[in-house]
Structure 1
Amino acid sequence: MTNDVRDDINEMCLSELNKHALKFMQREVGIINIGPANHTASAQAEFSLKQILPVLLAVASGMFLVILDSTIMNVAIPKLVSAFQTNLSTIQWVITSYTLSLSAVIPLAGWFSDRFSSKRMFMTSIVLFVIASMLCALAQTPEQLILFRILQGLGGGMIAPIGIATVFSVSPPDKRGSVMGILGIPMLLAPILGPVLSGWLIEFMNWHWIFVLNVPVGFVALLLAWRYLPLAKPRHNSKLDVIGALLAPISAVALVFGVHQAGEKGWSDVWTLGSILFGTLVLAVFIRHELRQKYPLLELRVFRSPAFVHGIIVAWLNQIALFGSILLFPLYLQQVKGFSPLEAGLYVIPQAVLSTIGINLGGKMFDRYGVRPVAIIGILSLSGSLLALTQVTAHSSPFYIMCSFAFAGLGQGLTMMQINTHVLKSAPKELVSRVTPITTSAQQIMSSFGVTITMAYLAGRIRELPIDHSLDQLGHAFGSTFWITLGFAIAALLLSLFFAKRTESNTSTYFQIQSK
């Protein structure tokens, strides 16, 4: 950080809140105690978004890069199947491998930040992500593309936990819902731009450009991070849980592969049963190992909090339903309705627009009423959308399709950031520093499960169709697949009814979070 930037920040930090926000930034990613409780009200009254806008902008740009690459792939799946002359089940791993590699590196974010400083790791992640994107553009086989997508995930996995912890830390307790909602706006712009850009590039250029696009976007994110994120001295006293770092991704990959094989060959298949049993065994060993460590990779003791467990289960079910269904949207439009990639991208714009509206409304409702009404309304909107999509056919009207997609987006905007914020607030005070890696990595794993379950089921239904099947039969296969995601959404809706009417923060001032 240059001297001019430090001077600008110091000039903004005249209030008590700003002084402590600056103190946070000097200590990198972590939330510190801002002092006696009697100063909290006045500090919150003086809070202004301008005080944290530079950090918010830098974090949002990095997260936008990672999320854009996820959404830009959805429209490209049919084109990749054709370009590589392979099948949907194989190309599905282009998305699944990316999310799994993200989840594998997320728990390491705290240790790497301590060892090398969060600013260096944030910028290094962006550089690795851009390099891997160029390799993806040069891929000649599906196997190469999957490998390079894994490298992409490893490069970008630490951006989200560092960014979320940073923004959460500088937000007053009664403004966290709104500020996290602001952070979510760029995250929801990616679903708007991603499919449209992907459709345009595929239709008028070629699929390689969906990865080349990451280069200029990554350069902007890197410049903002270098300009606005503070550089603090690394802390070398933390220890890396090497065994935990190996066991966690092995168990996740084995379980996801088992679910994928179940869709391909059935639950009685040897590889299916073997993968699921092996993944479950490794997961059990990982949990036992983590609970016995002084410096665990993930602090699993946080699951002793009933409120935390309740909240994170609702979040998981909601994520499986949401991400499992979002990938189906462009596939249905292109394979059943016969739309071009660009037309498919334009059709999902209403979904992203209502997501943006929902996240703004959801943040304000969360601050005023707590998580319960926001979660119920949001998941109910998603459930209604998925119920409507179970009835889609090859002859469904454009208005019907766009409205169904849009209300799924509204549910996404109302629930994603708000339920995650509730989970952070419901964690025990002494363990909250370890919550962000758990929730972020679990979100990626659940997204992988959602994609794997729906794609495997859809592939199975398509294989059951006759070779000369009609578009009506293909549309019915998509409609029946939406029943799977609807089931998860209904389960999340039922559990959301048991949220407390008002969520109280687990501390009277700021959370005391430090990345360790």
Structure 2
Amino acid sequence: MSQQSSASAPLSPAPPQRDPRRWWILAVLCSSLFVIVLDNTILNVAIPSITEQLDASTAQIQWTINAYTLVLSGLLITAGGLSDRLGRKRALLLGLLVFGVGSAIGAFAGSPEVLIGARALMGVGAAFLMPGTLAVLVRTFDNEERPKAIGIWAAVSSVGMALGPVLGGFLLDHFWWGVTFLINVPVAVVGLIAMGALLRESKDPANARPDLIGALLCTVSVVALVWAVISVPGQGWLDPETLGAGLLGLAGATVFVRWELRAPDPMLDMTMFKNPKFRGAVFGGILSAFGMAGSLFLLTQDLQFLRGYAPLEAGAQLTPMAVGVLISSILISPRVVKKLGIGKGVALGVTCSAAGLLTVALAPDDGYLVLAAGLLLLGGGAGISGPLVANALMSSIPPERASTGSGVNNTLQELGSGLGVGVLGAVLVAAFSQNLPGGLGGAAAESFPAAVAAAGDDSGLLAQVRDSFADSLTISQLIGAAAVLLGGWLAGALLLRADRADRARAAAREAEAAVSGSGRADGAADDRPV
């Protein structure tokens, strides 16, 4: 009888086996991600050397920096969609190969034009790499280990961004400027070998046709929008070029959305935006990038113009922020999500970041301890909220669209970063022009160096210019802190509501399963021989 009963009981599904190579896979993915984000900032310290040795104009230098950002941002969603359709492993290998080739060309470029082309080629490779790293990570780790893995992924991204100027300065002290490109090549070679050996191919089983029209519309609209936001600090919001690019981007985005809603095989499933968890994650990602990029933009000016640090020294002073991100992403964020959930965890993270921005804004000019504490708190808050936002976004989309979702996440972060610099930069300029002493206006209000040059040798006027700039920085930082706090709380509220809805659905499924199981047990009991 016991054998009959045992045979009639439903078998529990075996728990999924964890890939024993999963941490090696994460190491390969993170090393590729590290060089991608490193190239966003490492080139800045090499600008004087490149300008001198390649006889580059200011416009050519700007294109050298922006070519990478524009191409990367413009292709992220398109590359993510192609990765889902054609295979994520294939896309990662292609991206790493193109990125490595572009880096090698850039290292030995003999003219500004070749260097600009190399940076654009690197952007193409990075666009295929970035969405794939997060998509493969999500498919490699189960629900229990995924928050920790995403925390490590986010920490590597933030630390790579922060270490760019420091590493670039160290390399330029010992080698020529091309080494800032050349260091990517061995990483690409090792990554190609390791990815080929470790990764399994995965793609959307629907095997839909590529949405070429959607890809074109998406690329044009995102490139135009990114061009508009990165033009704001130098040209202003009302510059015809900035306005034209912004209007083109908005028009392109409108046409793109209308096309995707009607396309038979859309590149981007617009129904994802109906999910409150996806909307909250998108909003939280934009605000997180807004706060980090905007604060870095203001901080570098504070450290160099007011505190007198050289560019390399200023980069080193930001180390506490990188340490905060590293510790909280890996050690604190996974614990927070277990205890508080995603919504409350994001609210906690942005509160810490806003408190850090407030501390930095009010830190005295003659000491570093308070500033370091603020930077540590700022990075710690970002390290808590960033991985939670990424986890929420990736868990709110179908697994077969993982690369597309990751591409959306990365694209919006690029836009958020540009908006952070543009909006807070505009606030800084407006406040500075109002705070300047009488007689200094016009071109002098555009930047601190311009105002110093206009003040000449008048020590009293120079002191007033310095005080005006310090007050303007404080105002901008306080506005940034308020925006991060309020926006982050709103994102946290959206995610909290989504959390509760998920728990309610899970409880309903458990209750239904319990009722079904009870019914089967009663039926089995009735069938037992008397």
Give TM-score, length-normalised by structure 1. Answer: 0.78
User: Does the CA-based 8 Å contact 1:65-1:218 persist in structure 2?
Assistant: no
User: Which of 307, 319, 323 is the matching residue for 2:277?
Assistant: 307
User: Which of 490, 496, 504 is the matching residue for 1:500?
Assistant: 496
**Post-superposition shift, 1:51?**
4.8
User: Does the CA-based 8 Å contact 1:75-1:331 persist in structure 2?
Assistant: no
**2:486 match:** 491
**1:223 match:** 193
CA separation in 2, counterparts of 1:198 and 1:56?
25
Q: Show CA shifts across 1:137-195 (max 9, x none).
A: 34566665444322211111111211211111132224321232233343344246433
Are positions 1:439 and 2:409 aligned together?
A: yes
Q: Which moved more, 1:161-170 or 1:442-451?
A: 442-451
Q: Which moved more, 1:76-85 or 1:350-359?
A: 76-85
User: Which of 32, 53, 68 is the matching residue for 2:38?
Assistant: 68
**Post-superposition shift, 1:368?**
3.4
Are positions 1:333 and 2:333 aligned together?
A: no
User: Which of 389, 396, 408 is the matching residue for 2:360?
Assistant: 389
Are positions 1:105 and 2:101 aligned together?
A: no
Q: Which moved more, 1:168-177 or 1:157-166?
A: 168-177
User: Which of 377, 388, 405 is the matching residue for 1:407?
Assistant: 377
**2:339 match:** 368
Q: Which moved more, 1:177-186 or 1:314-323?
A: 177-186
CA separation in 2, counterparts of 1:386 and 1:75?
25
Unaligned runs of 5+ in 1: 1-35, 509-516
User: Does the CA-based 8 Å contact 2:100-2:188 persist in structure 1?
Assistant: yes
Superposition pairs of residues 16-27 of structure 1, within 5 angstroms: none
**2:154 match:** 184
CA separation in 2, counterparts of 1:148 and 1:455?
29
User: Does the CA-based 8 Å contact 2:229-2:418 persist in structure 1?
Assistant: no
**Post-superposition shift, 1:235?**
8.2
Corresponding residue SS for 2:42: helix
**Post-superposition shift, 1:56?**
1.9
User: Which of 264, 285, 290 is the matching residue for 1:294?
Assistant: 264
User: Which of 378, 382, 392 is the matching residue for 2:349?
Assistant: 378
Q: Show CA shifts across 1:265-315 (max 9, x none).
A: 444443333332222111111110111112112112211223321331122
CA separation in 2, counterparts of 1:232 and 1:375?
31
Amino acid at match of 1:489: V
Q: How has the CA–CA distance of structure 1 residues 142 and 479 changed in structure 2, closer, same or farther, with 3 Å as cutoff?
A: farther
CA separation in 2, counterparts of 1:465 and 1:380?
35
**2:181 match:** 211
Corresponding residue SS for 2:137: helix
Q: Show CA shifts across 1:401-442 (max 9, x none).
A: 322222221122111111111123344789777423322332
Q: How has the CA–CA distance of structure 1 residues 215 and 333 changed in structure 2, closer, same or farther, with 3 Å as cutoff?
A: farther
**Post-superposition shift, 1:264?**
4.0
Are positions 1:467 and 2:464 aligned together?
A: no
**2:477 match:** 482
**1:15 match:** none
Q: How has the CA–CA distance of structure 1 residues 190 and 416 changed in structure 2, closer, same or farther, with 3 Å as cutoff?
A: same
**1:169 match:** 139
User: Does the CA-based 8 Å contact 1:99-1:448 persist in structure 2?
Assistant: no
Q: Which moved more, 1:360-369 or 1:338-347?
A: 338-347
User: Does the CA-based 8 Å contact 2:30-2:153 persist in structure 1?
Assistant: yes
Q: Which moved more, 1:451-460 or 1:62-71?
A: 451-460
Superposition pairs of residues 38-187 of structure 1, within 5 angstroms: 38-39=12-13, 43=15, 50-73=20-43, 94-110=64-80, 112-113=82-83, 117-139=87-109, 145-187=115-157
Q: Show CA shifts across 1:212-242 (max 9, x none).
A: 2222232332232233123579989431211
User: Does the CA-based 8 Å contact 1:302-1:428 persist in structure 2?
Assistant: no
User: Does the CA-based 8 Å contact 1:199-1:344 persist in structure 2?
Assistant: no
CA separation in 1, counterparts of 2:73 and 2:11?
37
User: Does the CA-based 8 Å contact 1:375-1:419 persist in structure 2?
Assistant: yes
User: Does the CA-based 8 Å contact 1:102-1:444 persist in structure 2?
Assistant: no
User: Does the CA-based 8 Å contact 2:203-2:400 persist in structure 1?
Assistant: no
Q: Which moved more, 1:361-370 or 1:442-451?
A: 442-451
Q: Show CA shifts across 1:230-270 (max 9, x none).
A: 35799894312112111112222322333455544444443
Q: Show CA shifts across 1:291-350 (max 9, x none).
A: 111211211221122332133112212211112323444454344433344433332222
Q: How has the CA–CA distance of structure 1 residues 169 and 352 changed in structure 2, closer, same or farther, with 3 Å as cutoff?
A: same
Q: Which moved more, 1:236-245 or 1:410-419?
A: 236-245
Q: Which moved more, 1:433-442 or 1:357-366?
A: 433-442
Cα RMSD after superposing both structures: 3.7
Give TM-score, length-normalised by structure 2. Answer: 0.76
**2:329 match:** 359
Q: How has the CA–CA distance of structure 1 residues 302 and 358 changed in structure 2, closer, same or farther, with 3 Å as cutoff?
A: same
Q: How has the CA–CA distance of structure 1 residues 243 and 59 changed in structure 2, closer, same or farther, with 3 Å as cutoff?
A: same
Amino acid at match of 2:79: A
Number of equivalences: 467
Are positions 1:425 and 2:404 aligned together?
A: no
Query: Greater RCO between the two (CA within 8 Å, min separation 6)?
Result: 1
User: Does the CA-based 8 Å contact 1:381-1:408 persist in structure 2?
Assistant: yes
CA separation in 2, counterparts of 1:263 and 1:62?
30
Amino acid at match of 1:425: S
Q: How has the CA–CA distance of structure 1 residues 461 and 143 changed in structure 2, closer, same or farther, with 3 Å as cutoff?
A: farther
User: Does the CA-based 8 Å contact 1:264-1:456 persist in structure 2?
Assistant: no
Which structure shows the higher helix fraction?
Answer: 2
User: Does the CA-based 8 Å contact 1:378-1:410 persist in structure 2?
Assistant: yes
CA separation in 1, counterparts of 2:287 and 2:138?
23
Q: Which moved more, 1:262-271 or 1:302-311?
A: 262-271
Q: How has the CA–CA distance of structure 1 residues 76 and 379 changed in structure 2, closer, same or farther, with 3 Å as cutoff?
A: farther
Q: Which moved more, 1:146-155 or 1:425-434?
A: 425-434
Are positions 1:317 and 2:313 aligned together?
A: no
User: Does the CA-based 8 Å contact 1:161-1:437 persist in structure 2?
Assistant: yes
Q: Show CA shifts across 1:460-504 (max 9, x none).
A: 444762524548355555445434533431332331452417463
Q: Show CA shifts across 1:384-403 (max 9, x none).
A: 2222333467x342223322
CA separation in 2, counterparts of 1:43 and 1:96?
48
Q: How has the CA–CA distance of structure 1 residues 148 and 449 changed in structure 2, closer, same or farther, with 3 Å as cutoff?
A: farther
